[in-house]
């Protein structure tokens, strides 16, 4: 590996791992070698994800500088100019793989003007100073002793205009100081650190950010914190569920598609809500480009109310009054409760949250430094229309052909193995956001890993389905991180293979607790969330062919699987008024990675059938009319059908997936 590439990866991953420096996919890095080549971050790539295979482009420095020296580009309309520069930067790339590797950063021309190693970061503490009316005075006080001196550049639109401004500023700086600037402050934008080595760039960045952080802490000591509404955690959770349901509903209506919602009451949000004038600060237009790009500007403000009906009405009216169109993401601050972010996909949602956390910290800090100074309105308009930002923004959106279930949230219990894992993978393949819930946390994480490898989204949560508080807490966490629930698949089950004469009562009770009480608790809490959302939903109980035709030495399994089907029928009657459909799937024997079909269970079955353990699986396949093994995909397909629009008028029914072993009677 080239040393310059090694340095780029080291610099990028170190900076990308620190949310105090960059948020989401923000920030840029570059390194140069002795052959007039520059390794530069690709647009829209998160620095933390940089590796030797992807995340960067290799640019010929001479060709790059030729672009900047072409005065005719300045005469073109902005969008046309950006498109032309994108084409020329692509032609300057010498890694030979075209735009499949991504575009070079919009700031590639600017990086070409600076030293061997360059990092452009967006530290919230530094931007608090750069977004205040007292910027230049504070910079002089904090960094006036730097050698060489820092360079301060007033705000100008990113891309070509910023590069041309920087070209003149750096030329003037070098004439005055006989050296290249190591630190460049960009008004309302961020920090550039330039040096000959990765170590020096990281050291410079750390020193600059450290001084800014200390300055803000000192300023905050003289400010009295604002008191927030006092409430129990259970009351706050109820209000969070209430707001998330309303936001999900209103944005699904605006976009005519499902959205995700996430809640945050972390350090930055708490500090903002405790600040003396949070509502006034929230109404401040965008301070930095990333806030405008990834958060659609300023957060919306909603006053606190303990009245659920009044709070939901206020949330809806606030969002509808502010909506300029169906786009997301958007951030909503509810006083005393926290920040809610709505977005059309997990990556977009997470990036918006990270950038708004930084924006809130900048707002509080800029207020401490004097008065926050927003981006000029013409700059905000430029960002909205920028071809580069539309390109970068599109990289965070969900692509591909969406199914009717795509974008919806599914909770699957028992997702850490066997059918629960298979169903989870099948749902994620259709574009659903899966919550893999299991008492086996490691198993759930393995399911999530497999889904992630295939390009899907999943979240692992550990839960004991027989623990009432644990199940309730699970759904609160799901709502906080995804906004709601559209589908529950109950899969968590046990099957003790014991004859009646030898069946311990404790083993029987345990099966009842997991297979019946567990299904009930998961369904009850899912239905409560779905009812609150007011958009219907689907619950599917994974039962078994044993619910229809009992098997020998399986008292607990036979009884509980039959009970699951009958519970589903009763729930279908109860929940129909809320548009919630409830059905059952009864699979035949599924052996694939099954915890039920363990070596011990197979041995017990072999003894029961009078055959060898090796003959057990072929024996059961031979009992089906189709003489075929049932797989994960077969059962996942049945679940997808029942959850989808094609089954919109099916409820209280039982679908048997067993290759024709038993029949519904």
Could you give the 3-state DSSP secondary structure of residue 277? coil
- For tokens 């295939």, the residue is 454
User: What is the Cα–Cα distance from 634 to 656, expressed in whole angstroms?
Assistant: 11
Looking at the structure, do residues 97 and 199 belong to the same domain, yes or no? yes
Residue 610 lies in a domain: no
Q: Residue 665 pLDDT more than 70?
A: no
**Residue 100 pLDDT more than 90?**
no
Contact 107/28 with Cβ under 8 angstroms?
A: yes
Residue 597 main-chain phi, psi, to 5 deg:
-85, 60
Token pair for 268: 């930055």
Does some domain include residue 614?
Answer: no
Per residue, what are the HEC states of 300-340? EEECCCCCHHHHHHHHHHHHHHHCCCCCCCEEEEECCCEEE
The structural domain count of the chain equals 3
pLDDT for 96: 80
Q: Write 277-283 long-range contacts (CB < 8 A, 24+).
A: 277/367, 278/226, 278/333, 278/335, 279/303, 279/335, 281/363, 281/364, 281/367, 281/372, 282/333, 282/363
| pLDDT beyond 80 at 172 | yes
Identify whether 251 is a catalytic site residue. no
For the ranges 513-517, 602-606, 652-656, the lowest mean pLDDT is seen at 602-606
Asked if 378 and 445 sit in the same domain, the reply is no
**Per-residue pLDDT at 612 exceeds 80:** yes
Residue 428 sits in the same domain as residue 563 = yes
242 shares a domain with 181: no
pLDDT of 597 strictly over 90: no
Residue 622 lies in a domain: no
Query: Which residue, 558, 562, 632, is CA-closest to 594?
Result: 632
Domain boundary among 220, 254, 271: 220
For residue 194, the cross-strand partners are: 118
Q: How, if at all, do strands 338-343 and 330-334 pair?
A: antiparallel
In a domain, 49, yes or no: yes
Same domain, 281 and 187: no
Calculate the CA dihedral of residues 234, 237, 243, 248 and round it to 10 degrees. Answer: -140
Res 551: pLDDT: 86
The CATH number assigned to the domain holding 570 equals 3.40.50.720
616 part of a folded domain: no
Q: What are phi and psi of 634, to 5 degrees?
A: -60, -45
268 and 196, same structural domain?
Answer: no
**Which CATH number do you get for residue 250?**
3.40.225.10
Q: Which of 391, 475, 557, 620 is catalytic?
A: 557
| CA separation for the pair 494, 484 (Å, rounded) | 28
> Could you list the residue range(s) of the whole structural domain that residue 315 is in?
233-394
Whether residue 43 is found in the same domain as residue 141: yes
Residues 149 and 107 in one domain: yes
Q: Comparing C-alpha atoms, which of 158, 110, 152 is closest to residue 129?
A: 152
Mean pLDDT of the chain: 92
- Confirm whether 361 is domain-assigned: yes
Residues 380-402 pLDDT 10s: 988 887 766 666 556 555 443 45
Residue 597 in any domain: the answer is no
Residue 311 sits in the same domain as residue 285: yes
Instruction: Looking at the structure, tell me whether residues 521 and 650 fall in a common domain.
Output: yes
Tens of pLDDT, residues 435-453: 999 999 999 999 999 999 9
Q: Is residue 662 part of a domain?
A: no
Q: What distance in Å separates the CA atoms of residue 121 and residue 131, rounded to the nearest whole number?
A: 15
Taking the complete model, does pTM exceed 0.85, yes or no?
Answer: yes
| pLDDT value of position 398 | 44
Q: What is the pLDDT of residues 2-54, one digit of tens each?
A: 999 999 999 999 999 999 999 987 899 999 999 899 999 998 889 999 999 99
**Mean pLDDT lowest for which of 101-105, 272-276, 428-432, 462-466?**
101-105
Which of 340, 360, 394 delimits the end of a domain? 394
Residues 119-158 pLDDT 10s: 999 999 999 999 999 999 999 999 999 999 999 999 999 8
Same domain, residue pair 318 and 440: no
Q: What is the pLDDT of residues 308-322, one digit of tens each?
A: 999 999 999 999 988
Q: Are residues 215 and 248 in the same domain?
A: no
């Amino acid at each position: 590996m080239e040393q310059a590439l090694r340095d780029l990866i080291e610099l990028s991953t170190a900076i990308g791992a620190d949310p105090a420096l960059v948020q989401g996919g923000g920030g840029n890095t570059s390194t140069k070698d002795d052959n007039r080549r520059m390794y530069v971050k690709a647009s829209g790539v998160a620095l933390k994800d940089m590796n030797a295979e992807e995340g960067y482009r290799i640019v010929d420095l001479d060709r790059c500088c030729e672009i900047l020296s072409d005065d005719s580009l300045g005469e073109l309309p902005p969008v046309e100019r950006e498109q032309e520069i994108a084409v020329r930067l692509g032609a300057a790339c010498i890694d030979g793989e075209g735009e499949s590797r991504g575009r070079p950063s919009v700031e590639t021309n600017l990086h070409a003007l600076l030293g061997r190693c360059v990092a452009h970061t967006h530290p919230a503490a530094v931007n608090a100073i750069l977004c205040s009316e007292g910027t230049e005075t504070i910079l002089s006080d904090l960094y006036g002793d730097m050698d060489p001196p820092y360079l301060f550049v007033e705000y100008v639109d990113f891309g070509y205009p910023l590069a041309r401004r920087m070209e003149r500023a750096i030329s003037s700086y070098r004439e005055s100081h006989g050296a290249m600037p190591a630190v460049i402050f960009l008004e309302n934008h961020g920090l550039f650190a330039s040096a000959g080595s990765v170590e020096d760039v990281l050291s410079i960045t750390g020193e600059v950010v450290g001084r800014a952080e200390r300055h803000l802490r000192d300023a905050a000591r003289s400010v009295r914190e604002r008191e927030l509404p006092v409430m129990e955690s259970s009351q706050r959770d109820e209000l969070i569920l209430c707001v998330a349901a309303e936001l999900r509903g209103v944005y699904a209506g605006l976009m005519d598609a499902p959205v995700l919602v996430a809640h945050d009451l972390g350090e930055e949000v708490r500090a903002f809500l405790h600040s003396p004038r949070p509502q006034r600060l929230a109404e401040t237009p965008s301070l930095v480009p990333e806030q405008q790009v990834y958060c659609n500007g300023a957060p919306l403000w909603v006053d606190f109310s303990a009245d659920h009906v009044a709070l939901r009405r206020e949330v809806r009216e606030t969002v509808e009054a502010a909506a300029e169109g169906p786009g997301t993401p958007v951030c909503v601050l509810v006083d005393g409760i926290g920040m809610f972010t709505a977005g059309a996909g997990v990556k977009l949602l997470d990036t918006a949250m990270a950038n708004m956390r930084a924006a809130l910290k900048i707002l509080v800090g800029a207020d401490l430094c004097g008065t926050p100074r927003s981006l000029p309105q013409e700059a905000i308009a430029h960002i909205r229309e920028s071809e580069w930002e539309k390109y970068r923004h599109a990289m965070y959106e969900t692509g591909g052909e969406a199914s009717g279930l795509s974008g919806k949230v599914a909770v699957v219990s028992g997702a850490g193995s066997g059918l629960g894992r298979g169903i989870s993978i099948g749902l994620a393949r259709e574009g659903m956001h899966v919550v893999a819930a299991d008492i086996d946390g490691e198993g759930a994480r393995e399911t999530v890993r497999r889904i992630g490898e295939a390009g899907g989204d999943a979240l692992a949560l550990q839960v004991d389905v027989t623990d009432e508080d644990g199940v309730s807490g699970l759904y609160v966490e799901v709502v906080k991180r995804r906004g709601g629930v559209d589908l529950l698949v109950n899969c968590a089950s046990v099957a003790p293979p014991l004859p009646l004469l030898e069946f311990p009562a404790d083993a029987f009770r345990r099966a009842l607790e997991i297979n019946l009480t567990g299904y009930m608790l998961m369904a009850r809490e899912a239905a409560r969330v779905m009812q609150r959302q007011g958009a219907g939903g689907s619950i599917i109980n994974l039962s078994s062919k044993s619910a229809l035709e009992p098997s020998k030495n399986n008292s607990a399994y036979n009884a509980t699987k039959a009970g699951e089907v009958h519970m589903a029928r009763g729930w279908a009657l109860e929940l129909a008024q809320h548009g919630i459909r409830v059905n059952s799937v009864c699979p035949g024997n599924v052996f694939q990675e099954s915890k039920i079909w363990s070596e011990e269970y197979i041995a017990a079955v072999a003894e029961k059938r009078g055959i060898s353990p090796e003959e057990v699986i072929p024996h059961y396949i031979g009992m089906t009319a189709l003489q075929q093994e049932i797989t994960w995909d077969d059962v996942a397909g049945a679940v997808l059908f029942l959850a989808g629009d094609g089954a919109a008028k099916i409820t209280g029914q039982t679908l048997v997936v067993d290759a024709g072993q038993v029949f519904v009677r």
